[in-house]
Amino acid sequence: MNQEKIGRFIAECRKEKNITQEELAEKLGVTNRSVSRWETGKNMPDYSILKELCNILDIDVNEFLTGKKIKKDEIENRKIDNLDLILKEYYKMKKQRNRFKVAAIVFLVIIFHLAIIIGTIVMLNNGYKNRLHITTNKMDYNDVIGSKSKGIYKDKWGIKEEIFPKTISNLNAKEFKMICDDFLDQQFLSYLVVDYNEEDYKKEIERLTNYGIKKYKGYYNVTGFTNYELVAMESDEYYGFIYAITDGKSKIIYVELIFCNYTMDIDYENEIPKEYLPDGFNAKEDNPYRVKIMESGK
């Protein structure tokens, strides 16, 4: 369950209804601070007011759980009552701080979502053939990277892709690869290698240097870069990284590693050259960074 995603969804729905945090708090009989903590993903609404919150925001419990609106014709016969029971038990266990039981309930929630997704695929008569969308065609670049991206590539959890070039039509692009895992929560891995002429290299290094390097060390055990020089970095302690590295001569490598739930399901170790990855990067399911976060209860 992604508390940050749910929090953003609560805020979006509240604003759509033209309701302030104060007004929502008053309707639910809670404090303004409680609403603020929901919307920042630091806490979750108590089960006792969950249905009333959903009614006010004009969403159902399943939409609340997924953190997004769901088209009514996409899923048939949603078992919301069963989901209510799962949520009720989840919050009950959360209050008891019983980690083992909480993990079991979260597992049930995941299984519930998996059943919905499989049911949807069957309903649409499209067998689940391939969970990964992969392209190495440079002609697809603007469809999968940047502001003109289409379909599943349009919104990568709100992470900016301004570090990547706006277009590569006139660039000497040596390598390009984009992978999207759209099975449950979207994840993206891509890299672009460009060999610039002397003049264009200087211009691009200047642009990237002006963009700057956002704090990133410590996220997912990253310590820095050894094989290349880091020029620009866009990072998020939850969603991952977008960065540019250079050999200091003519080559610039642009990389994005975007995922969620503190785990990257894409097999990044086999999908991207190791030397393009940050030193220490670990986004596997049992990575120490994720374990630490989970133990801290964030």
pLDDT in tens, 46-80: 878 888 999 999 988 878 887 888 776 665 545 55
Across residues 232-249, what is the average pLDDT? 96
Sign of CA dihedral 267, 271, 275, 278: negative
| CATH class, 3-123 region | mainly alpha
Mean pLDDT, the chain, rounded, equals 85
More confident residue, 260 or 140: 140
235, 216 Cβ separation under 8 angstroms: yes
In this structure, what token pair is assigned to residue 37? 């903590």
Query: Domain-by-domain residue ranges, the chain?
Result: 3-123, 132-296
Of the segments 63-77, 91-105, 144-158, which one has the largest average pLDDT value? 144-158
More confident residue, 237 or 88: 237
Could you report the per-residue pLDDT of 218-228, keeping only the tens digit for each?
999 999 999 99
Distances (CA, A) of 88 to 81, 93, 111: 10, 9, 16
Instruction: Single out the residue of 109, 10, 111 nearest to residue 67, CA to CA.
Output: 10
Q: What is the pLDDT of residue 125?
A: 40
- Lowest average pLDDT, out of 88-97, 102-111, 194-203, goes to 88-97
Q: What is the pLDDT of residue 155?
A: 86
Distances (CA, A) of 7 to 17, 37, 98: 16, 8, 23
Question: How far is Cα 201 from Cα 165, in angstroms, rounded to an integer?
Answer: 12
Please, how many CA atoms are within 13 Å of residue 275, restricted to the half-sphere of its CB? 8
Q: What is the pLDDT of residue 129?
A: 40
Of the segments 16-20, 31-35, 275-279, which one has the largest average pLDDT value? 275-279
- Residue 128 scores a pLDDT above 60: no
- Residue 83 scores a pLDDT above 70: no
- Lowest average pLDDT, out of 202-211, 266-275, 288-297, goes to 288-297
Instruction: Single out the residue of 231, 226, 216 nearest to residue 163, CA to CA.
Output: 231
Backbone angles phi, psi at 241, to 5 degrees: -140, 150
33, 288 Cβ separation under 8 angstroms: no
Question: How far is Cα 182 from Cα 167, in angstroms, rounded to an integer?
Answer: 24
Strand partners, 257: 189, 241
- Residue 258 scores a pLDDT above 90: yes
